[in-house]
Amino acid sequence: MSVTKVIKRDGTSVDFDLQKIIIAIGKANAAVEGAERLDEDQVRGIAEYVQRRDKNRLLVEDIQDMVERQLQKAGKFELAKSYIIYRYRRALVRKSNTTDESILSLIRNNNKDVMEENSNKNAVMASTQRDLIAGEVSKDLTRRVILPEAVSKAHDEGVLHFHDMDYFIQPIFNCCLIDIGDMLDNGTVMNGKLIESPKSFQVACNVMTQIIASVASSQYGGQSVDVSHLGKYLRRSKEKFTKRACGALGADADPATVRKVVDERLREELKAGVQTIQYQINTLMTTNGQSPFVTLFLYLRDGDPYIEENAMIIEEIIRQRYQGIKNEVGVYVTPAFPKLVYVLDENNNLTGGKYDYLTRLAVKCSAKRMYP
C-alpha cells in the first residue's frame, strides 16, 4: 500500500504529488550552506519514504512532520531548521488569509465541491453566492479557531464529519417546528410590523408562507408546519361566503342554492389558497439563497372541531402535489418542497374509516411524485 491521497487544511482531498515534497525540501535546501544540503537522490528518497507509508491518505501536516523527522535522522539539523521556518512562514500566510481561493473560485463558478454540496441551491445566483461566500469564511474560522484541534483533525481525516460548519460561527439554530397556530390565531410581528389574525383562508395561507420564509432566513436546516391550524380559517371563509350569498340572494333564497353558491366559492378559495402555499414556497428565495426547506404535516385529529375543513385542505394539497408544478418550459414536474407527511390512524388506514379516500389519494400521489 502507498499514499494516493492528501487531505489539505481546508478538508479537501487531492492526489498525492511526490514533486511537491521535493520542491518544498528544495526551497529549504537552498537556504543552507553546501555541507548541510541534501543531494537530489537524498531529497527524492525522503519523498518516496513518505509515499511508501502504509496508508491510503495522509494529512498535509503529517507529511511535513515525516519530512522533518527524516531530515533530522539524516543529521541535517540546519536543513531541518530551515524547513521548519519555511513551514512556519507558510502557516502565517495561511492564517492571515485562508479563504481567498475558495471564495474566488465560487465567484468564477468553478468551486465544484461547494457549488454541488447542496442540490437545493443554485450556486450561480447572487443571493446564493453571498451565502456560500459567508459559509466559506465560517468554515475556515470554525476549523482554525472554534473547534478543538483534535476535532478538526478527525474531520479532515474522515474519522467523523462535523456538520454545518458554514453556519456554525453564528448564534442561529438548526431546524424548527413552527407554532403556526399561535402565530395565526394571535397575530405575529415580522420586520417590526404587526400581522393580525387572518379573516380568510387565502390570507391565512399567504401569512403562513411569509412566516415560513422569515423563519428560513433566520436559521439553517428545515422546518415543519402542521396544516390543521388552517381549518379554522377555511370555516371563516365559508361563513363569510354564506353571509354574502344570503345577502345577495335574499332572505327567501332556496337553501340548496345558497349551499351551491357557497360551496363553489369555497372550492375556489381552497384551491387558490393551497396554490399560494405551493407557489410561494417554491418561488420565495430566503436570505441563504434557496427555497425554504419545509415539511407540511397532514393529520386529522379526533375531536378537532375543524376536522371536515382540514380534510378538504389535505385533499387539495395532495391533489395539487399529484398534478405537480410547471417548470420554466411549462412541463409539470415534482416540486422539491414542501415535503408532505401524511399520518395514518384508525380513521384512514383503509379498514373502513371515514377518511380512507384521502389515504387512497395519498398512495396514488406517492406512486407518481415521491422520489428518493
Are the C-beta atoms of 319 and 361 separated by less than 8 Å?
yes
Residue 156 has a pLDDT of 81
Output 328 or 128, whichever has higher pLDDT: 328
The torsion of the CA quartet 320, 323, 328, 334, rounded to 10 degrees, works out to 90
- DSSP conformation letters of 46-68: HHHHHHTSSSSEEEHHHHHHHHH
Residue 94 has a pLDDT of 61
What would the pLDDT profile of 213-250 be if each residue is shown by its tens digit? 888 888 888 899 999 999 999 999 999 999 999 888 88
Q: Give me the residue spans of the domains in the chain.
A: 5-96, 100-157, 174-369
Residue 224 and residue 317: Cα distance in Å, rounded? 15
Q: At what angle do helices 77-96 and 18-29 cross, to 10 degrees?
A: 110
Residue 1 has a pLDDT of 62
Residue 166 has a pLDDT of 86
Check pLDDT > 80 for residue 90.
Answer: no
Over residues 64-79, the mean pLDDT reads 89
Report CA 147 to chain centroid distance, whole Å: 22
Parallel, antiparallel, or unpaired for β 5-7 and 294-298? unpaired
Over residues 113-124, the mean pLDDT reads 70
What would the pLDDT profile of 144-159 be if each residue is shown by its tens digit? 788 888 888 888 888 8
- pLDDT interval class at 118 (50, 70, 90): low
Residue 372 has a pLDDT of 62
What would the pLDDT profile of 312-348 be if each residue is shown by its tens digit? 999 999 999 999 999 999 999 999 889 999 999 988 9
Check pLDDT > 80 for residue 10.
Answer: no
- pLDDT interval class at 263 (50, 70, 90): very high
Percent of the chain with pLDDT over 90: 42
Provide the mean pLDDT of the chain: 88
Residue 337 and residue 326: Cα distance in Å, rounded? 13
Are the C-beta atoms of 256 and 178 separated by less than 8 Å?
no
Over residues 269-291, the mean pLDDT reads 86
- pLDDT interval class at 83 (50, 70, 90): confident
**Grid coordinates of 92:** 502565517
Are the C-beta atoms of 22 and 38 separated by less than 8 Å?
no
Over residues 293-321, the mean pLDDT reads 96
* Least trusted range by pLDDT, from 51-60, 97-106, 240-249, 279-288: 97-106
What would the pLDDT profile of 50-65 be if each residue is shown by its tens digit? 888 888 888 888 888 8
- pLDDT interval class at 120 (50, 70, 90): low
**What's the pTM?**
0.71
Check pLDDT > 90 for residue 85.
Answer: no
